[in-house]
Amino acid sequence: MNSSTYPAAQHVMVLYTGGTIGMQASAHGLAPASGFEARMRDYLHSQPELAVPQWRFREMSPLIDSANMTPTYWQQLREAVVDAVDVQGCDSVLILHGTDTLAYSAAAMSFQLLGLHARVCFTGSMLPAGVTDSDAWENLSGALVALGRGRGLAPGVHLYFHGELLAPTRCAKVRSFGRHPFKRLERQGGGAKATSLPAQLNYNQPKQLANVAVLPLFPGISADILDGLLSSGIQGLVLECYGSGTGPSDNPAFLASLTRARDSGVVVVAVTQCHEGGVELDVYEAGSRLRGVGVLSGGGMTREAAYGKLQALIGAGLPVDEVRRLVELDLCGELI
């Protein structure tokens, strides 16, 4: 089925998590605020020319600045989406979210909602609704129109911002200002498409919280830093490497620490620190030595996608060998 044959959204659940879009002034600066449903309804009623689908509204609790987003909150979001689709009969979900961690959440939900036959779209704004030059209403109404237009969006997770639809597993927030904070990263290097998925990864299966960390390499990084992370009980690690996936290959202690991580069942995935390109661990000796101690290639995955993918795979309770196998296969466009 090509994109032109997907039906338009008829019933949309709007999940409001907080974020700049609905913030109001407080004694300590802008803060998340309740009451956004009425403001949204008033705005849409004032724009009768907008062709938006029917919608209902759910305010998540607590409302948060997205700087306070956590994997625990992602579990609440997944459950809210499942309830909207499987219980309340919505064919689409619009998630209003702060921009700081929007790319993380949209990528994570792409993996948390594998197999969902509904559309999920994330949007937000850089300025609160109602202030001068705000992008809030244009993003919210644009996302609703995108869901409700004639040819419709494909099932799965999307990110809408300033008239552009982005694949959540391929983009990142690259600007802290203006109307175009998100950008598709030109990443390359991937794996084959997974031909089937374990039942545990299906969207309607409960997920456990996983302990995953991100560690950027930097000149002079010591094994003590890695050992400290490992001693904290992490189950997965996104290792942000240089270039095509290189690291301190002449540091025996660092390599020994990675070996211990592998032997203790910690899944380590290498992604590149570069905005363009991807990981190819066998190009340089400094990369192949990482492969030799169990580091997996993240190919062209973004940091956000790799983090969300490990959260989902480990949280599904899959055996470590199965997690390692699936890391290097494409599940929802993160590698291909």
In one-letter notation, the amino acid at residue 138 is: E
Distance from C-alpha of 159 to C-alpha of 156, rounded to nearest angstrom: 10
Task: Report the relative pairing of strands 24-26 and 29-31 from DSSP bridges.
Answer: antiparallel
> For the chain, where are the alpha helices, taking DSSP H only?
36-45, 71-82, 102-112, 136-148, 223-231, 252-263, 285-292, 303-315, 320-327
Q: Which helix (H) or strand (E) holds 54?
A: strand 54-64
Q: Which of 5, 17, 20, 72 is catalytic?
A: 20
Question: Is 99 within 8 Å of 66 (Cβ atoms)?
Answer: yes
Burial class from Cβ neighbours inside 10 Å (0-12, 13-18, 19+) for residue 150 reads: exposed
Measured at the CA of 50, the angle between CA 49 and CA 56, to 5 degrees, comes to: 135
Specify the 3-state DSSP secondary structure of 225: helix
In one-letter notation, the amino acid at residue 30 is: L
In one-letter notation, the amino acid at residue 304 is: E
Task: Report the relative pairing of strands 92-96 and 11-18 from DSSP bridges.
Answer: parallel
Catalytic residue check, 195: no
**Phi and psi, residue 197, nearest 5°:** -120, 145
Residue for token pair 């309770």: 317
Task: Report the relative pairing of strands 236-241 and 267-272 from DSSP bridges.
Answer: parallel
Residue for token pair 């237009």: 149
**Catalytic positions:** 20
